[in-house]
Amino acid sequence: MLKYLAKRILYVLPVAFGVSLFCFLLVHIAPGDPLTSVLPPDASQAMQDELRKIYGFDRPLPVQFGLWLLKALQGDLGTSIATGRPVAAEVWRAVGNTLLIAGLATVIGFVFGCFFGFVAGYFRGSFLDKFASMLAVLGVSVPHYWLGMVMVIVFSVQLGWLPPGGAGPGGSAAWKWDWEHVSYMILPAITMSVIPMGIIARTVRALVADILNQEFVPALRAKGLMDFGVFRHVVKNAAPTALAVMGLQLGYLLGGSILIETVFSWPGTGFLLGNAIFQRDLPLLQGTILVLAMFFVGLNVLVDILQGLLDPRVRRR
């Protein structure tokens, strides 16, 4: 088991390196001088050189990368050009906010996805299957930012039940776990849950149908296991993959939250990313993407390890 763990982590290291290299290079593939967002347009040459030295842009690229990586490993992601605050602090705060809705969305998506998927797979070919499958396809096909808009239209504008955006009175800094604040979470979380729900439903459906098709199921039935026994067996076999997919979906939500957070003005990582892009705040952009990508990579490794724990066949690979 430990060997499997070590192997997985070793495998991921070059990928993580590549990811950080990519994040670093992002700034430099951007057209234009990275300094243009900081400097007033009529800055003197001397001032430009000065700032260049401060930000380290005058050193050769590999050296810049090395320094940046070293600092990043120590938790220092530089300073935001726009706000002047340390990037790391901004990012961590935003991550926490995103995790709130992403976590809730994942749970909702997982519960409903498993339910629909299981029904579809168990009653394969029947009307229930077609209905549940159709719901899953709908979930996967919907442009979620549009769905968010529609939710706002229905529940905020027309019915007035839930707030249309933001993170509560006083913003996320004053978060409390009461209805007033939690009500701000509901619409974004539900909107976010739709795509994972669709994907999980499809996966579970295929898994369940597959498991039920396998030859040892009639053997189980012949042994006298009641349908509940078969049910438990299906759950045991489907669980590792379903959980793996859920983990991956959480990763996707973390990384891809920008669209929904923009619709709902939710101050999470996506929102931060959007701001960084528009203000061409390159340290912030770099730092945010790096953290998000690393989260995703780390989540992948965790999911693999979890699968290894739950499914002994995986470990022997």
Partner 1 sequence: MSAIAQGNAAIIVPPLAKSPGYWAGVWRRFKKDKVAVGAGLVVLAIILMAIFADYIAPADPTRSSMLRRLRPIGTPGYPLGADELGRDMLSRLIHGARLSLFMGVVPVFIAFVVGSVIGVAAGFFGGKFNTITMRTVDVFYAFPSVLLAIALSGALGAGITNSLLSLTIVFIPPIARIAESVTTQVRAMDYVEAARASGANAITIIRVHVLGNVLGPIFVYATSLISVSMILASGLSFLGLGTKPPTPEWGLMLNTLRTAIYVQPWVAALPGAAIFITSISFNLLSDGLRSAMDVKG
Residues that bind partner 1 (CB under 8 A): 14-16, 18-19, 21-23, 26-27, 29-31, 137-138, 140-143, 145-147, 149-150, 152-153, 157-158, 251-252, 254-256, 258-259, 262-263, 273-274, 276-278, 285, 289, 292-293, 296-297, 300
**Alpha-carbon separation of residue 197 from 112, 119, 132, 202 (angstroms):** 6, 14, 11, 9
Q: Is the dihedral of CA 142, 146, 152, 154 positive or negative?
A: negative
> Which residue(s) pair with 79 in the sheet?
86
| Shortest reach from residue 200's CB to partner 1, in Å | 16
Reference 15, options 301, 302, 315, 307; nearest CA is 301
Question: How near is the Cβ of 252 to partner 1 at its closest, in Å?
Answer: 5
**What Rg do the C-alpha atoms of the chain give, in angstroms?**
24
Among candidate residues 190, 192, 197, 199, the one with its CA nearest the CA of residue 257: 192
Name the minimum Å distance from CB 127 to partner 1: 13
**Minimum distance from CB of 223 to partner 1 (Å)?**
32
Q: At closest approach, how far in Å is the CB of 87 from partner 1?
A: 15
Cα distances (angstroms) measured from residue 299 to each of 15, 27, 203, 244, 292 = 13, 25, 19, 10, 10
Rounded Cα distance, 132 and 159, in Å: 28
The SS3 call for residue 86 is strand
- Choose between 15 and 67: whose C-beta lies nearer to partner 1: 15
- CA gap 168, 183 in Å, rounded: 8
Q: How far is the CB of 17 from partner 1 (least distance, A)?
A: 8
- For 79, the 3-state DSSP assignment is strand
Q: How far apart are CA 239 and CA 60, in angstroms?
A: 50
**Of residues 179 and 278, the one with the C-beta less far from partner 1:** 278
Nearest distance in Å: CB 22, partner 1: 6
Residue 68 token pair: 């940046």
Give the residues across from 61 on adjacent strands.
none
CB of 292: closest distance to partner 1 in angstroms? 6
Residue with the two structure tokens 């199921």: 217
Encoded amino acid at 284, one letter: L
Q: How far apart are CA 249 and CA 294, in angstroms?
A: 15
Q: What whole-number distance in Å separates Cα of residue 290 and Cα of residue 82?
A: 18
